[in-house]
Homo-oligomer: A and B are copies of this chain.
Amino acid sequence: MEEEVENILQKGGELFHPGLSVDCVIFGFHDNQLKVLLLKMKHADKWALPGGFVYKEEEVEHAAVRVLQSRTGLGNIFLRQFHTFGSPSRSDRKLNRELLVSLDLEAHENHWFLQRFITVGYYALVNFSSAVPRPDATSEACAWWDLQDMPPLAMDHNHILQQALETLRKQLNDQPVGYNLLPEKFTMPELQRLYETILGKQLDRRNFQRKMLGYGILDRLEERKRGVAHKAPYLYSFNKEKYAAALQDGLQQGW
C-alpha cells in the first residue's frame, strides 16, 4: 500500500495531467440526515474530500468516476461537475511537502506534487446503504459525516463542500435528487426529510405530499412500513420513466 503511494508520487509527473485534480463531494442520506463521505489523512490531523488526479489522456469526469468507484465500491453513480477551484493560494504545498518527506521521497521544488493545482469539483449522489466506504492509500479512514457536524477540512475543501451544497439546492428541481439518494422503497416522510435537509428549512407535511404526488412520478406500493410505533406509512418508489419525462421540463419551480 505504502509502496503504491510512493510509486504514484514518483511517477505522477509522467502519468497525470499537470496541476490538475478532481475532488468529489459524495452525498448520502441516512437516519434522516444528509451525509458526506470524507477521508482522514494519514500525515495530517484533518479530513478531506476524496480526490484524485487525471491521467494524461483520461476524461476528467472519468477520473471522478474512478474516485467514486474506489471510495464507495459503486459504479454507475449520479455525478455532476459543479465548479472548478483554481486559486493559487488553495494548494497547500507545505502539507504536500510533508507527505513526501514522511515517505522519504525527494521533495525538490519542481516535484509535480508540489506545484499549484487546479481542481474540478464534482458532486455525487449515492445510495447510503449500498456504499462501502474504503480509505485510499494516503488515508487512514473513510467515513460518512453528518452535514450538521463536519470536522475541519483540509485546504479549501470546506469551501468546495459549501459550493456543492448550494448547487444541490439549486438543482433540486432539475435533477433526480431523490431518486439517487433514497433506497428503492421509501416513505413520504423520508422523502420530505431529504428535501428539508437539502433546503435547510421545514416544509409542511401535507402540502409537501400534495405537490410531490402532483408530479406523478411516484408509485405507491401496496406495502406499508413495518415496526414503527404509530400508524404505518405507505412505501413509495420512483417511477423511472415518468421521473425522467418530468425532469425534461424541470419539476415545476419553487420549494
A residues in contact (CB < 8 Å) with B: 17-20, 54, 56-61, 81, 83-84, 86-88, 116, 118, 120, 170, 174, 253-254
Contact = CB atoms under 8 A, between A and B. Distances in A.
B57 A86 contact: no
A153 B18 CA distance: 27
In terms of DSSP, what is the predominant structure of the interface of chain A? mixed
B84 A84 contact: yes
Contacts of A17: 19, 116, 118
Given A56-B116, A86-B120, A170-B174, 8 more contacts: A18-B19, A57-B88, A57-B116, A59-B88, A60-B84, A81-B83, A81-B84, A84-B84
A65 to B, nearest CB: 13
Contact of A253 (B56, B60, B87, B253): B253
Contacts of A84: 60, 81, 84, 120
How many protomers of this protein does the assembly include?
Answer: 2
B116 A60 contact: no
Given A19-B17, A253-B253, A60 B81 contact: no
Contacts of A57: 88, 116
A174 B167 CA distance: 12
A57 B91 CA distance: 11
Contacts of A174: 170
Contacts of A170: 174
A123 to B, nearest CB: 14
18 contacts: A17-B118, A18-B18, A19-B19, A56-B88, A56-B116, A59-B87, A60-B84, A60-B87, A60-B118, A61-B86, A81-B83, A81-B84, A84-B120, A86-B120, A118-B118, A118-B120, A170-B174, A253-B254
Contacts of A18: 18-19
Contacts of A54: 86
A83 to B, nearest CB: 7
Closest 5 CB pairs of A and B: A253-B253, A60-B86, A18-B18, A84-B84, A57-B88
A247 to B, nearest CB: 13
A120 B118 CA distance: 10
Nearest to A59: B87
Nearest to A17: B19
B58 A88 contact: yes
Nearest to A86: B60
A61 B56 CA distance: 24
